[in-house]
Chain A
């Protein structure tokens, strides 16, 4: 496993491509320092021994299931869209 405590430019670029963000060179340089400081604080968690199970919510929440029935929704799905053709939404191309 890679050293999970280091944020370098290459890692930042990789994350930005996954997260669909374009950063300027200035932002890359600045974020690298800022985020490294944050990660160093996050690493404090290493000091804690945890045998506990992960918690998914602060209170236990289980089995909230919905019956299989159709409830039609009266609305215009295009109400906030600026790009559509007929009743379709327009999408950018794939490649």
Chain B
């Protein structure tokens, strides 16, 4: 069985592959992986594909992204049984190019989490150490990518770090593109001004290849960038590239061993001809507060529609609407969803709105401006992806909500600024993968991607 994406595409092109046999084998192997690591919420029994440059290539889809005819839950019980009547644009783009959808991957409910432990269905286990988390919220996507013994690329999604965290924890490559690069039509909303669809692959090439298919202007999404897709696999040299190293990303909150691995990665970049310089991003410290308030303010309105009418979890319609809605929402939402709805409603209330919601938006402006100023002097910024290695499930259980939110400290700023960034495996600590993130200016995915490719190639 071919395991690499590049070889797979070659085999198909040369006509040596029987696509039907291949599909059948993929389904069997997926089931085995599901038993071992639980990356899926839904497995497709008879996946199909059309023609195109990635004909028959197995693609998994994070369960917050709508797939026509395939149950889509966003990891929540409140959407149990929901079968979308349409494909998200990103999915139809992948299918247009021949991609074969093999299943929907597990995630924190609606994207609320950093460890995929808030999934109401299955909690994915890290293939490097099954007592540890895969990260979140795109945990299932990263899990499957790491474990797959067949060619596969994952469609994932990030709001505050949900592609970077799982990629870093599972030793895979995660690309979070510029906000607006990939259409959000059909993405079940978490925070509309920060949600981005991206990819997770075993290699930089894989993740970049799928991103090229997903990208492009979509008139159905009013925030979709009017910019054509690119061939993101056209890596170039990084000689002479100017690299900034933000010191706040190496502070005491970051595990020293993780920082050390990333610094070795940076040395590798220098040996390849990049010039590196330390910089400061003082707004980093305010990212968590500003991110969470913006995200939950939007999320609490996005989640209002889930009330047992027209789709998803429904009960027999009796009594008045307030009781009916409350009953559905109280049983359908998990704890984290309830917390975020409560906080998000609070942050928007008259009297508090200026101090929380509006203030958070102003701080976002500062963060955006801070990065923009950096990219006048540097091509990319490089830092650790996460402050820790993948924690164990028992460690996660002991985390209070605020402590859990603080794990996002390194991923939140680039996500808020909507700048493209890539997480690439850079080393190991205690046999667990460590990721390095490479950030670039708006719509300069190619800069971040070629740095990631260079680092990967130099291992």
Contact B193 A95 (CB under 8 A): no
Within B304-355, the residues touching A (CB, 8 Å) are 304, 307, 309-312, 314, 316-327, 329-330, 333, 338-339, 341-343, 345-347, 349, 351-352, 355
Residue of B nearest to A77 (CB): B310
- B150 contacts chain A at the CB level, 8 A cutoff: no
CA–CA, A45 and B366, complex, Å: 12
Contacts of B81 in A (CB 8 A): 80
Q: Is A81 a contact partner of B314 (Cβ separation < 8 A)?
A: yes
CA distance A93 to B341 in the complex (A): 25
CA distance A8 to B419 in the complex (A): 38
Task: Tell me whether A12 and B342 are in contact in the complex, defined as CB-CB below 8 angstroms, given that A20-B325, A64-B222 are known contacts.
Answer: yes
Chain B proximity of A37: nearest CB distance (Å): 5
Asked, given contacts A21-B326, A38-B401, A59-B442, whether A15 binds B342 with beta carbons under 8 Å apart, the answer is yes
Contact of A20 with B85 in the complex, beta carbons under 8 Å = no
Which residue of B is nearest A43, CB measured? B289
> How far apart are the CA atoms of A41 and B400 in the complex, in Å?
13
Quick check: B362 and A50 within 8 Å, CB to CB? Answer: yes
B352 touches A52 (CB 8 A): no
Please, which residues of chain B bring their CB within 8 A of the CB of A64? 222-223
Contact of A21 among B225, B338, B363 (CB under 8 A): B338
Does B293 lie within 8 Å of A56, measured CB to CB? no
Closest to A95 in B: B320
Partner of B341, one of A21, A55, A66: A21
How far, in angstroms, from A7 to B355 measured CA to CA in the complex?
15
When distances are taken between beta carbons in the complex, the residues of chain B under 8 Å from A89 are 309-310
Binary per-residue interface labels of chain A (79-92) against chain B in the complex, 1 for a CB within 8 Å, 0 otherwise: 11111000001111
State in angstroms the CA–CA spacing of A93 and B321 once bound together. 6
Chain A residues within 8 Å of B339, by CB? 31, 34-35, 38
A89 to B321, CA, bound (A): 14
Is B381 interfacial (CB-CB < 8 Å)?
no
Q: Write out the residue numbers on chain B whose beta carbons fall within 8 Å of the beta carbon of A15.
A: 342, 345-346, 349
Residues of chain A lying within 8 A (CB to CB) of residue B405: 38, 41
> Is B300 among interface residues, defined by CB-CB distance under 8 A?
yes
Chain B interface secondary structure, helix, strand, loop or mixed? helix
* A37-95 CB contacts (< 8 Å) to partner B: 37-39, 41-48, 50, 52-59, 61, 64, 66, 75-77, 79-83, 89-95
B116 near A: Cβ within 8 Å?
no
- B304: A residues at CB distance < 8 A: 19
Looking at the assembled complex, report how far the CB atom of B253 sits from the nearest CB atom of chain A, in whole angstroms.
Answer: 13
B364–A55 CB distance below 8 A: yes
Check B364 against A42 for contact (C-beta < 8 Å).
no
B33 at the interface (CB under 8 A from A): no
B310 engages A93 (CB within 8 Å): no
A23 in contact (CB, < 8 A): yes
What residues of A have a CB within 8 angstroms of the CB of B345 in the complex?
15, 18-19
Minimal Cβ-Cβ distance residue in A for B443: A59
Contact status A16-B342, CB under 8 Å: yes
Q: In whole Å, how far is B248's beta carbon from the nearest beta carbon of chain A?
A: 14
CA–CA, A74 to B342, complex, Å? Answer: 37
Which A residues are in CB contact (< 8 Å) with B167? none
User: Is there contact, CB below 8 Å, between A92 and B289?
Assistant: no
Chain B, range 252-281, C-beta contacts under 8 Å to A: none
A58 near B366 with CB under 8 A, answer no
Complex contact B356–A23 (CB within 8 A) = no
Complex Cα–Cα for A20 and B333 (A): 11
Binary interface profile of B, 386-404, with partner A (CB < 8 Å = 1, else 0)? 0000000000000011100
Q: Do A91 and B307 touch across chains, with their CB atoms under 8 A apart?
A: no
Alpha-carbon distance between A50 and B358 when the two chains are bound, in angstroms: 10
Interchain CB contact under 8 A, A50 and B368: no
Q: Write out the residue numbers on chain B whose beta carbons fall within 8 Å of the beta carbon of A39.
A: 343
Closest Cβ–Cβ distance, residue B288 to chain A (whole Å): 7
Contacts of A52 in B (CB 8 A): 362, 365-366, 369
B-binding residues in A (CB < 8 A) = 1-2, 4, 7, 11-12, 15-16, 18-23, 27, 31, 34-35, 37-39, 41-48, 50, 52-59, 61, 64, 66, 75-77, 79-83, 89-95
24 A-B pairs within 8 Å (CB atoms) are namely A7-B346, A11-B346, A18-B345, A19-B341, A20-B322, A21-B329, A21-B330, A21-B342, A31-B342, A34-B402, A38-B401, A41-B405, A42-B347, A45-B290, A50-B363, A53-B365, A55-B364, A61-B180, A66-B219, A75-B85, A80-B81, A92-B320, A93-B320, A93-B321
